[in-house]
Amino acid sequence: MRPTVSPLTFLETVVLPLVIAATILVSVAVVRRLHRADDGRRWVEIARSRLVMGVPWGSLLVIALVFCVYLFVQDGITDFENPVTLPYRAYSYFYPLGMLTASFSHAGPGHLLGNLAGTAVVAPIAEYAWGHYPDGRDEGTVSSWRANPWVRALVVFPAIVVAITIATSLFALGPVIGFSGVVFAFAGFALVHYPIVTIVGVLGVQSALLTVYRAMQTPIAVYVAQPSPPSAPSWAGIAIQGHALGFFIGLGLGVALLRRRGHRPDPFHLWIALLLYGFAQGLWQIYWFGSENTYFLFQGPGVLIVTALALVVTVAITASDRPLLPRRVGRRLARLWSRLGVTDPTGESPVDRPLEIARASAATTDSGTSTSRLERIATLAAERRRSTRLAGVGRRQAAMAVVLVVFAIVAGMAIPVNLFVLDDASGSAETAVEIEDYTVQYAEDVENEMVSPVQIGPLADAVSLESSGVIVESEQRQLWSEVVPADRLAFTGEEEITVGGPGWRETVHVERTGWEPVDNDTVYQVEIWADGEDRQLTHESNASSADVRIDDRTVTVDSRNGTFVLAVESPDGVVETAAVPEENESATANGLAFERDDETVYATSDGTEVAVASAETYN
């Protein structure tokens, strides 16, 4: 019997999305007929002037490649909402698979959709600026395979993007995952060529694309207010260094192409676009970690850095080659350096060589010219030469040097972290769960291995972090990750983790159960097991006593070898234990009777009944 679909469901899932799509297409068609460019050319003709058939083939190929990696490498085709992510992060230079795939991979469908939407906006602008026709629209003028428009569209442009993708993995502060670094590179390249078009696309078109897609996917969404697990701020999960790295790579390539073609963008347009992009895309969100789920956001310094860099980059791209220092200042510095005996790069004093020439001239002259006058002339010539050298540094050169220094710092800071080597991933032999080369365990207050490469000298304490939760390790993959934080597991009670690699995946289950003594800390157990395997106890917390006394006796909840027990201590110090009774059952220990009603355990003595513990609840 075929399942029936209600008219309301059909209207919501089929009719309404089609109406949305049709409305947008009609709007585009009507506006296209109404609009005419000033030079009489339509937008299709403008696109065809630089792109084969007016289509950004390279951008489409890149989008298809990223989507295919999600489906077939990360196995998103099996479970689109839950791809395999652990083996496809950039953990270490000693794990090539992660380095090569990290920037193509994504943490989930939302992550993938956001990056593909950004690519769909800025990649075509960058490809249009680069162009399929470097020597003009006439295809008959093609002189080499590198100038062939189809080769440039289908081979060269995607190859350059792949190279940038790998570079962002190699020099990103790991363990990163996602195509966003390359999206920032596209944006940086596009901004220096078409600043206003790019910023409008990023701030408006990208948001519109995501809104339309979500409206068509879920025309009517229902949201119910409910508690959520503790989580870090949204900005604490952003690879800000990777974004800045990609942005600088795009800027550098864009500037190189501008110089080659002899073009220079409008300074004001470029500056305002760089500033708005940096603020809108969160390049100011510089942060660091504190202890116990504390995060520090340096938003003041971040805004200052973005503002300063926008100005420096604008100067580096659009300023003239006029000297950075006035000639007068250069002469004064030259005199000062001469008096201090500062040598030039050749190792000579700035007046040594001119004086030598002057003395030689005085020795051979018959005109009676005094040596002192020649020496004075030689000295002035030396000072002028030095002042010319100082004043010869142009404004654009100086600004570009600053940009290169910042880029070197951004890229270089990742090298120590990416030299990470995991010495031992065996975990605790009794509690760790082994799945192929992965080790899965629950641990609390352990050193975060991912920051160990930079714990050098005075930085040892500054970057030392502790982690608590479900830890996944793999010595073969140089992988160490806190996959499920302890506070999240305490909130949800159970989680699933996907491990795997090319061609395989395995689901690992984690479950926490506990009992909470009255007015004290919860006593809990954590079990981990793979699909089809037996549960394995991996953690038992410390005992905790109820903040009540019954007949001068204390009751302590404890976990022993996977069993929750009630330990009763009498006034003379004798301790007896009994297992926490099952539902509607009872137990006795050291003169106290325990009964369990629903999820609460009561202690009874001489007609007095007191609740001593309740089962931990989860959301």
User: CA 331, CA 335: separation in Å to the nearest integer?
Assistant: 6
- The per-residue pLDDT for 418 is 86
- The per-residue pLDDT for 339 is 62
Question: What are the DSSP calls for 122-139, one per residue?
Answer: HHHHHHHHH-S-TT-S-G
CB 484 within 8 A of CB 510: yes
For the chain, domain boundaries:
36-137+145-225+235-318, 327-392, 433-538, 543-615
Instruction: Name the CA dihedral angle for 250, 254, 257, 259, rounded to a multiple of 10 degrees.
Output: -130
- The per-residue pLDDT for 457 is 47
Closest CA to 184 of 270, 282, 71: 282
Closest CA to 420 of 88, 85, 99: 99
Closest CA to 611 of 517, 513, 543, 515: 517
- The per-residue pLDDT for 195 is 94
Low-confidence ranges of the chain (pLDDT < 70): 1-5, 35-42, 135-143, 291-292, 323-393, 423-430, 451-464
- Maximum pairwise Cα distance, the chain: 132
User: CA 262, CA 337: separation in Å to the nearest integer?
Assistant: 37
- 70-86 tens-digit pLDDT: 999 999 999 999 999 99
Residue 345 tokens read as: 């790069």
- The per-residue pLDDT for 41 is 57
- The per-residue pLDDT for 345 is 44
- The per-residue pLDDT for 350 is 46
Q: How many CB atoms lie within 10 A of CB 39?
A: 7
Residue 134 tokens read as: 């470097």
CB 537 within 8 A of CB 562: yes
- The per-residue pLDDT for 391 is 52
Residue type, 284: W
Helix (H) or strand (E) holding 514: strand 504-517
3 state SS of 203: helix
